[in-house]
């Protein structure tokens, strides 16, 4: 009889953040704890603080301890949601944006997938995660006539653009390998769509476009099977909503990726089912795409599916594809049956009831 493989011990940082983040991150923990013992994985957890609430009580939105524990003790992490003020507050900045920079998580990977309906959606938006307008370098000045003018820096670097191009191309290959292995999909081959606005922003978006293309052209032997195309962002929005089935992997600068992925959630019914992972060379943080949703906070009806799917995406980037597949199959079965669902999807069930249904299917 073959010896049983040694159990692999993994520590996951849990950062609920604000609002419904504190209601859905426990769902992610339950899913990890429910993975089959046959996978040989054992998870432990560290509770960490970050967010607007943390800022209000401690004066910092991202405590240094949170960053250091993630760097030194954790194999991956889950982040819930953050409530950010709409006006400037001295000393405050978004903790998830800061985490992406501190941990060099240069890619935000956002799968958008339907499991029901006549117009199939199965795409991934790869969003650059560290620069563009999100460098948050803004100034306001007053002209001689008293008129105020606000300006913001849009920063695009060759390094970040090549990094994001590389991960998008590799994702296209990985997705195709899964399809060839039997995964259901309407796609017939790998495809990459580079989204930009270089017809107006010739320097910044032009550099992004050129950098991604250079990665594709640098290894034709590896990437020759990928259909490569470029799409201006405004027409990209129109075509994505009109024919989402035409897209496989979409790569975009930070701002466009943010807008496209939130918009794509409408194609599958709700932000509550759309996951993401903040990914670098050595670390991944799963993060649902929805916000802190203060309007439903505390009511027990937040949709946990985006968080559970984010667990699966995090596991993929931790190299645990078999475990990720268990999670994804359970979620897809829940959504396909459509009987146990939260109000955002037209149902009447609670967060807990949806979690329990997914756990049952695992």
Q: Give Cα separations from 25 to 83, 195, 244 (angstroms).
A: 15, 32, 30
Work out the number of other CB atoms within 10 angstroms of the CB of residue 280. 18
In a domain, 144, yes or no: no
In a domain, 189, yes or no: no
* pLDDT band, very low/low/confident/very high, at 6 (cuts 50, 70, 90): confident
CATH number of the domain where residue 97 is located: 3.40.718.10
Q: Give Cα separations from 201 to 137, 158, 166, 206 (angstroms).
A: 18, 15, 22, 7
pLDDT of 5: 58
pLDDT of 227: 96
pLDDT of 212: 97
**Which pLDDT tens digit goes with each residue over 20-77?**
999 999 999 999 999 999 999 999 999 999 999 999 999 999 999 999 999 999 999 9
In a domain, 74, yes or no: yes
Q: What percent of the chain has pLDDT over 90?
A: 85
Domain span at residue 84 reads 1-105+280-362
In a domain, 158, yes or no: no
In a domain, 235, yes or no: no
Work out the number of other CB atoms within 10 angstroms of the CB of residue 265. 18
Asked whether residue 4 carries a pLDDT value surpassing 90, the answer given is: no
**In this structure, are residues 105 and 277 in contact, taking their beta carbons and an 8 Å threshold?**
no
pLDDT of 2: 45
In a domain, 354, yes or no: yes
Total domains present in the chain: 1
Length of the chain: 362
pLDDT of 1: 42
Asked whether residue 204 carries a pLDDT value surpassing 90, the answer given is: yes
**What's the pTM value of the predicted model, to 2 decimals?**
0.90
Q: Which CB contacts under 8 angstroms, 24+ apart, belong to 113-121?
A: 113/268, 114/267, 114/268, 114/269, 115/332, 115/335, 115/336, 116/335, 116/336, 116/338, 119/244, 119/245, 119/267, 120/186, 120/244, 120/245, 121/244, 121/245, 121/264, 121/267, 121/268
Closest by CA position to 40, among listed 11, 74, 3, 4:
4
User: Stretch 339-357: mean pLDDT, rounded?
Assistant: 96
In a domain, 199, yes or no: no
**Which pLDDT tens digit goes with each residue over 219-278?**
989 999 999 999 999 999 999 999 999 999 999 999 999 999 989 989 998 889 999 999
In a domain, 294, yes or no: yes
């Amino acid at each position: 009889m073959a010896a049983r493989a040694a159990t692999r011990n993994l520590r996951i940082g849990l950062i609920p953040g604000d609002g419904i983040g504190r209601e859905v991150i426990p769902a992610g923990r339950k899913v990890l704890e429910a993975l089959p013992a046959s996978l040989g994985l054992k998870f432990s957890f560290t509770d960490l603080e970050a967010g607007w609430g943390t800022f209000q009580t401690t004066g910092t939105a991202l405590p240094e301890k949170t960053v250091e524990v993630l760097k030194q003790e954790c194999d991956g992490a889950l982040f819930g949601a953050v409530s950010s003020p709409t006006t400037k507050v001295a000393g405050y900045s978004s903790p998830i944006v800061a985490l992406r920079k501190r941990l060099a998580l240069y890619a935000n990977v956002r799968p958008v997938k339907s499991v029901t309906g006549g117009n199939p959606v199965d795409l991934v938006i790869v969003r650059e995660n560290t620069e563009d307008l999100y460098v948050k370098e803004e100034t306001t000045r007053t002209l001689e006539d008293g008129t105020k003018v606000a300006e913001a820096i849009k920063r695009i670097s060759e390094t970040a653009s090549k990094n994001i191009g590389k991960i998008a191309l590799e994702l296209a290959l990985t997705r195709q390998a899964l399809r060839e292995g039997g995964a259901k999909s309407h796609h017939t081959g790998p495809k990459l769509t580079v989204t930009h606005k270089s017809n107006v922003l010739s320097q910044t978006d032009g550099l992004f476009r050129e950098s991604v293309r250079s990665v594709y052209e640098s290894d034709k032997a590896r990437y020759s099977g990928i259909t490569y195309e470029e799409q201006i962002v405004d027409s990209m929005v129109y075509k994505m909503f009109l024919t989402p089935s035409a897209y496989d992997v979409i790569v975009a600068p930070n701002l466009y990726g943010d807008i496209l992925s939130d918009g794509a959630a409408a194609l599958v019914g709700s932000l509550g089912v759309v996951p993401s992972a903040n990914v670098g060379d050595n670390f991944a943080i799963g993060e649902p795409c929805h916000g802190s949703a203060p309007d439903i906070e505390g009511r027990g009806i937040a949709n946990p599916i985006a968080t559970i799917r984010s667990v699966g995406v995090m596991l993929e980037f931790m190299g645990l594809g078999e475990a990720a597949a268990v999670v994804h199959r359970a979620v897809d079965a829940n959504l396909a049956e459509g009987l146990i669902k939260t109000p955002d999807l037209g149902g009447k069930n609670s967060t807990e009831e949806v979690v329990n249904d997914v756990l049952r299917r695992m």
